[in-house]
Amino acid sequence: MKKVAILQSNYIPWKGYFDIIAAVDEFILYDDIQYTRCDWQNRNQIETPQGVQWLTAPALVKG
């Protein structure tokens, strides 16, 4: 049986994202999805010498 994973794109994906890709026979990137504000699609946390910081890529949205 073929294993398939469908995931939406993320800005700086978490390690588990790549583990899922490695564990399947076919990976589908679902990039035609409605953008949701205040989500992980365009931001992520990174660890810096000053502690955990948010890293955000600006996103232009309609409305």
Listed ranges 15-24, 28-37, 41-50, 53-62; the one with the highest mean pLDDT = 15-24
Residue pair 30/6 in contact by the 8 Å Cβ criterion:
yes
For residue 31, the model assigns a pLDDT of: 82
Tell me the pLDDT tens digit for each residue of 2-38: 999 999 887 778 889 999 999 999 999 998 877 777 7
- DSSP strand E in 1-63: where? 4-8, 26-30, 43-48, 51-56
